[in-house]
């Protein structure tokens, strides 16, 4: 998106550029400098183009915390930042609005989800290379094509992710019973957390006592 420049001023060798509505996060700015000449007009400054990427928001965990676990995959920082950003947006969605960046559960959810995405990305890369040894934190897998090891590791992270997802929703106690909703009608939902009660089920569950004749 192009943004209108309000003022451009020069102070000796410093060029000051002010943007109309301020610098926005999650944006890429392209600055082109052309036709700049010295005050006496004898010298021309070469044309320059600068591309500036601003901070990514939201980011509910640090790049360093994710990199510490998946650095062996050599995933570009830009990809890791994208994974963290997407995980943070998902945390916002789960919380029903904007998540609290200081909430430990929110931070851990974003970190775990980003690590999962990095793991999938890195695993597929390692597999395409014909298998290799890699580490995830203290865990080491000697063959990247070992699907059993990968699935076990993935399962551990997915279980951890579910725990932090529940915590964001306010379910902090482990071992809680999942909330259930009951509806009467035809089962048409794939949501496993909803217990459907059909008419046939109601009729089949009725216990009838036969009258006792004297």
Same domain, 106 and 151: yes
Structural domain tally of the chain?
3
Residue 213 inside a domain? The answer is no
Same domain, 162 and 184: no
Q: What proportions of the chain, in percent to the nearest 5, are helix, strand and coil?
A: 40, 20, 40
Q: Residue 170 half-sphere exposure, CB side, CA atoms within 13 Å?
A: 3
Residue 162 inside a domain? The answer is yes
**pLDDT tens column, 17-50:** 888 777 888 888 888 888 888 878 888 888 989 8
186 near 199, Cβ under 8 Å?
A: no
pLDDT given at position 63: 92
Residue 131 CA: distances (Å) to CA of 68, 103, 116, 127, 147: 22, 38, 19, 5, 11
Going by pLDDT thresholds of 50, 70 and 90, the confidence category of residue 214 is very low
Closest Cα to residue 89, out of 105, 110, 67, 107? 110
Same domain, 80 and 157: yes
Residue 119 inside a domain? The answer is yes
CA distance 139 to 14: 51
Give, as one character, the DSSP assignment of residue 10.
E
Same domain, 163 and 70: yes
More confident residue, 84 or 131: 84
């Amino acid at each position: 998106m192009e943004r209108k420049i309000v003022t451009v001023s020069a102070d000796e060798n410093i060029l000051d550029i002010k943007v109309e509505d301020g610098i926005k996060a999650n944006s890429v700015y392209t600055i082109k400098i052309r036709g700049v000449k010295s005050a006496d007009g004898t010298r021309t400054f070469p044309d320059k183009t600068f591309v500036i990427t601003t901070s990514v928001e939201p980011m509910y965990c640090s790049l360093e915390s994710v990199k510490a676990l998946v650095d062996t995959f050599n995933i570009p920082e830009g990809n890791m930042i994208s994974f963290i950003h997407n995980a943070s947006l998902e945390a916002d969605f789960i919380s029903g609005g904007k998540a609290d960046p200081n909430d430990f559960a929110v931070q851990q959810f974003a970190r775990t989800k980003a690590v999962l995405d990095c793991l999938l990305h890195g695993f597929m890369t390692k597999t395409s290379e014909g298998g290799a040894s890699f580490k995830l934190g203290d865990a080491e897998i000697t063959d990247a094509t070992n699907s059993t090891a990968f699935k076990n590791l993935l399962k551990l992270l997915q279980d951890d992710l579910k725990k932090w997802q529940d915590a964001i929703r306010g379910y902090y106690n482990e071992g809680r019973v999942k909330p259930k909703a009951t509806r009467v009608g035809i089962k048409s939902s794939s949501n496993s957390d909803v217990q459907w009660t059909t008419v046939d089920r109601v009729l089949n569950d009725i216990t009838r006592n036969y009258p006792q004749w004297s």
